[in-house]
Structure formats: C-alpha cells, structure tokens
Amino acid sequence: MNILITGGAGFIGSNLVRRMVKKYPDFRVVNLDRLTYAGNLENLRDVEGRPNYTFVKGDIKDKALVKNAFERYGIDSVMHLAAESHVDRSILSADEFLNTNVLGTHALLEAARSFWKDRPAGPAGRPAKARSVFLNVSTDEVYGSLPEAGSFTESSPCAPNSPYSASKASADHLCRAYNKTYGVPVITTHSSNNYGPYQLPEKLIPLMVLNAMEGKPLPVYGDGLNVRDWLHVEDHCSALEAALLKGSVGETYNIGADNEWKNIDLIKLICKILDELRPGSPNVPHASLIRFVKDRPGHDLRYSIDSSRMRRELGWAPSMGFEEGLKSTVEWYAGNLAWCERARSGEYMEYYEKNYMRR
C-alpha cells in the first residue's frame, strides 16, 4: 500500500511516519509537509534512508502538487494530519488556519476523488491493498466545552469555540460531504490532547518543562481548573493505524485515554517530576515558579472523550500509563535540550537545506 501522510514532519505526524515506516516495510510512506515552524525533519533522521520512505516538500493547498503526488506515487490511502493547530495562534490570526485546515483539506479530497473514482474502498478487514481510505485526523475541540460531567461521543454536536476548532470542524464537514456526495472513502478520528517527544516547545507540557528548568515563570491561564484528557502520542498513532486498516468507511471514531487532568494539577505533577529528576537545581521546588495569568478568550472548560466505540469495534486501547508516560516525556525534553533550542529558534530548517537541498 502507498500511503500519503500529510504533516508528517510535525509532532504527531513524525511519530506516525516512524511507526508506519518501521512496522510495514512493504508499505511505501510518502510524507508531504510544507515545513512551517511546526515541521521538523530532524524528527525523522532514523527513517529518512529507508527504501519505503519518501519526503515531498509542499503545501497541501497546491492542487497541482497534490495531484502529482497521487499520480507519481500511486497513492492508495491518505492519513491527513497537516494542520495549523495552536489555539493561541488562531486567536491572534485565523487566516492561515482557514487556508490550511479548510482549503488544504479540500485540495486533498479533490485529488482523492479524482484518483480513486473507479476504485472501491473495500470493507474493513480485507488486505490493505484492496482498500483505499482517506483518514481525516481531527480533534476533540470541534465538540466545544463540557460541564463537570459527561464525555464527548461520536454523536456529540459540533460546537467549536476558537478559530482553530472551527476550522477543523469545517474540514470535518467537508470530509463528510465528500463521502456522502462523491463516495470518497472517508474515516474521521477525534483525539484528545496529545503529549510525548518531538512536540513543539510552545505547547503546554514542553513549555512548562523548559521554563521550569530555566527558572522562568510557569504561566497558567485563569484559575488553572480547565480539564483535558491526555493521550500519549504513541497510543494515538496506534489508534490511527487501527482506524486506517480496520475502520469502517463513513464512520467517526473518538480516541482518548480516560485520563483527565486539571491544568494546575498537571503542571504541579511536572514540577514534582523535575524536583525528583534535578534535586540540585536552584529552581527546586519548581512549583514556586507557577504564575496565574489572564485567561485566553473562549477558553474551553473541559474536554472528555468517550473512546468506547474505538475500543469495542477496532480492538484498540491505550497502553501507556500517564505518570509513566509523563515522566518519560519530561526526561526526553530534559535530555534533548539542543533539539528544543533549535525548534524554538527555527535553526532546524538548516537541516532541510543541508540534507535535501544541497545534495
């Protein structure tokens, strides 16, 4: 099977590319990424020389480029992760979110509709080569905010509260329409918050780890009582693999770990791990660095995912315990400070220039 993974140099995308390239040597994995501030090819050094891996630099909005990728590599399935995904950035300016998340998804759907027009999707469970799937990787944020009880199910209504989540909900609706109108074999997944290695340092967990190690304030929005369900990125990638190979076309699957944490409690746990990891640090106790700041506009109170359908129908379950996963994540950032600095400064782009453009 020839798989196009969009956004494969990003946080979740690079973990997914690495998994699929190593686990399925008979699959060709084509990684299409524009290499914005969030795309880092350093994340994929260990697979870039493998014969079943190909990198294509390009924008998913470029219809000619996307069409050429489908034709050149004989794309059988798409795992679509390319997206602008940082809520704070979307509040400052929504333009790029609409362009990438909506128009980019549209360009991919059009290419799939054209290239697969005479190809049946095939039922789940058949050999991978007999089946084409457009896997639309989305977020639980499209559902909006929950009160203190209940969880999002696949039938929960869309009620996005930020420009980012609205753009992802728009993409979800486009994918549904292309399935219903044109028969494009779409499967959509909605996952909870991811954590793990290679996440951009502006996101919550790596930001808190690095600020704490550097003795900088740990900014907490509002009262810190906003709740998120945290999922390790490797568990998310295993769920995406299951959805691609075993999911039912036209359906939606929620992916979560039943692992809800208030932001303030999560940050205190990170501080506790760092206290144990670096007891001689002048910043111990790291929790003394916590500072409450003005809440961001439209800040959702609580997310909670009911992933029982995914577990029941596709046999998936998360395997990473949270405290174990969080500790290994904190240790990864503490042990990869050079990567973090290059990611924060943008110097990682030199790797692309050196290893791809100057060959």
Within 8 A by CB and 6+ apart from 1, the residues are 24, 27, 28, 76, 77, 128, 129
Residue in 33, 140, 234, 306 annotated catalytic: 140
In the block, residue with structure tokens 């039922």: 123
164 is catalytic: yes
> 53, 143, 164, 195: which is the annotated catalytic residue?
164
140 is catalytic: yes
Distance CA 315, CA 307 (A): 11
CA 252 – CA 188 distance, rounded (Å)? 5
Marked catalytic residue, from 141, 172, 229, 300: 141
76: its two tokens: 């059988």
CA gap 31, 79 in Å, rounded: 10
Tell me which residue of 323, 305, 319 sits closest to 233, measured CA to CA.
319
Q: Residue 74, SS3?
A: coil
Q: What does the block give as tokens for 106?
A: 């549209």
**Cis upstream peptide for 285 (omega within 30°):** yes
**Which residues are tagged catalytic?**
140-141, 164
